[in-house]
């Protein structure tokens, strides 16, 4: 496989040096698929590769709320089918099995399909992809395998991740990549009942993203930077800025993501959820979000990893908002820590973690009768990307 193919797949799937990459290879590092194990036949081409990406756990709530139940849960279940049709043409199909299959009203694609399309290696350093795909926001939490992100930030939980469109990836140098992307701005048509009276849906609701990925100091330092413009209404846009960096050295690695958005019509939806407590819920205008996310990993033994993660996020309304006042409405602090055990291979891990979040509403939220929250959980489970074929 050409160098450009390898680099492209690394960036798309796991661009950050993570704890899993620090294990000394063992005899099971190159894992056989179930097909090869059962039939004792060896795959002779890369036309079809099938994996079942899973995470399941027992979650125990550390609060006395009646709705908080302790139970086993299949948190994540995604079928991932990829392959190379020729040396220059490849395809991807990622189907989230525990999501709705109902088609969206705008792009006619179900939310269960995360990725479905065809890619082209135009030159050794230039590739393109068309179809439903990840929006190229960047950020290391956002780019990580979702099964391995035990609890996303508010930003990661609410941002629109998968949209139909096209993108172009260009390796300017072996360590520097630029991505250009145009997608739909959303999957569904606007819900007119909750929109401001003067809001007019854009005739061409598209999103435009430029993304730069860099690696420095022999891959010790990695960076992700992006800017996105979502054209939602005829005079309402959403702007995203993301700057992120990761450091990987020896048995230690960490990343920091900084995310900021200005939304003339509230797209992330957290501010609108505050106003949803009103008798007549409405979609907020002129919202602003800031997120700071960091995770640290330390491999204390070849198969044992300690990790900690923290988030700080704010939700605000700016001038000309349709909420009662402009200013900060909500602040959240997320924190989690735990241990991961890799018994045989990096593809399988057991984990035990504690996660908590403090959500604090300011005096500006008082008209909506919201109360501070402090959910906490303990989780014991496993993640396994099962090699089916």
Average pLDDT over residues 51-69: 84
Average pLDDT over residues 62-73: 77
Token match 């908590």: residue?
356
Report pLDDT digits (tens) over 86-115. Answer: 999 999 999 999 888 888 888 888 999 999
C-alpha separations of 265 from 29, 156, 239 in Å: 48, 19, 11
Cα-trace Rg, the chain: 22
Average pLDDT over residues 5-28: 36
Q: Is the pLDDT of residue 259 over 70?
A: yes
**How far apart are the C-alpha atoms of 22 and 301, rounded to whole Å?**
10
**67: confidence class by pLDDT, cuts 50, 70, 90:** low
- The pLDDT, as a whole number, for residue 199 is 85
- The pLDDT, as a whole number, for residue 34 is 67
Q: Is the pLDDT of residue 313 over 90?
A: yes
- Assess contact for 329 and 290: CB atoms under 8 A: no
**How far apart are the C-alpha atoms of 287 and 238, rounded to whole Å?**
9
- The pLDDT, as a whole number, for residue 41 is 65
Q: Among 62-76, 115-129, 175-189, where is mean pLDDT lowest?
A: 62-76
Q: Is the pLDDT of residue 261 over 50?
A: yes
Mean pLDDT of the chain: 87
Average pLDDT over residues 195-216: 91
How many other CB atoms are found less than 10 A from the CB of residue 195?
17
**How far apart are the C-alpha atoms of 382 and 55, rounded to whole Å?**
6
The residue count of the chain comes to 389
Give every CB contact of residue 197 below 8 A, 6+ residues apart in sequence. Answer: none
Q: Is the pLDDT of residue 355 over 80?
A: yes
Average pLDDT over residues 157-174: 95
**How far apart are the C-alpha atoms of 2 and 53, rounded to whole Å?**
26
Q: Is the pLDDT of residue 206 over 90?
A: yes
**How far apart are the C-alpha atoms of 228 and 241, rounded to whole Å?**
7
- The pLDDT, as a whole number, for residue 74 is 94
- The pLDDT, as a whole number, for residue 140 is 96
How many other CB atoms are found less than 10 A from the CB of residue 101?
11
Query: What H or E segment, with its residue span, contains residue 261?
Result: strand 252-265
- The pLDDT, as a whole number, for residue 37 is 67
């Amino acid at each position: 496989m050409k160098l450009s193919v390898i680099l492209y797949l690394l960036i798309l799937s796991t661009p950050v040096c993570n704890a899993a990459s620090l294990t000394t290879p063992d005899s099971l590092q190159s894992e056989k698929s179930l097909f090869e194990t059962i039939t004792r036949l060896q795959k002779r081409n890369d036309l079809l590769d099938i994996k079942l990406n899973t995470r399941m756990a027992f979650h125990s709530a550390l609060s006395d709320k009646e709705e908080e139940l302790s139970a086993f849960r299949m948190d994540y279940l995604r079928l991932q089918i990829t392959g190379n049709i020729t040396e220059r043409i490849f395809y991807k199909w990622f189907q989230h099995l525990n999501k709705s299959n109902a088609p969206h009203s705008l792009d006619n694609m179900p939310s269960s399909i995360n990725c479905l399309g065809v890619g082209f290696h135009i030159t050794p350093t230039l590739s393109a992809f068309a179809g439903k795909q990840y929006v190229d926001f960047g950020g290391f939490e956002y780019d990580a395998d979702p099964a391995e992100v035990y609890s996303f930030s508010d930003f990661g939980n609410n941002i629109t991740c998968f949209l139909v469109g096209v993108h172009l990836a260009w390796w300017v140098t072996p360590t520097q990549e630029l991505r250009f992307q145009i997608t739909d701005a959303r999957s569904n048509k606007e819900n007119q009942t909750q929109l401001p009276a003067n809001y007019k849906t854009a005739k061409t609701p598209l999103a435009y993203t430029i993304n730069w990925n860099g690696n420095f100091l022999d891959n010790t330092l990695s960076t992700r930077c992006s800017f996105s413009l979502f054209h939602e209404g005829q005079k309402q846009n959403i702007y995203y800025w993301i700057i992120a960096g990761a450091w990987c050295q020896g048995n230690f690695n960490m990343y920091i993501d900084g995310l900021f958005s200005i939304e003339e019509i509230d797209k992330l939806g957290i501010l609108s959820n505050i106003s949803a407590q009103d008798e007549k819920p409405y979609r907020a205008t002129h919202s602003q979000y800031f997120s700071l996310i960091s995770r640290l990993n330390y491999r204390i033994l070849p198969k044992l990893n300690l990790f900690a993660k923290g988030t700080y996020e704010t939700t605000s309304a700016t001038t000309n908002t349709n909420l009662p006042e402009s200013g900060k409405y909500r602040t959240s602090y997320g924190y989690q820590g735990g241990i991961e055990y890799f018994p045989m291979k990096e593809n399988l891990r057991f984990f035990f973690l504690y996660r908590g979040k403090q959500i604090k509403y300011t005096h500006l939220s008082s008209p909506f009768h919201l109360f501070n929250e402090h959910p906490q959980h303990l989780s014991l489970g496993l993640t396994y990307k099962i090699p089916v074929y």
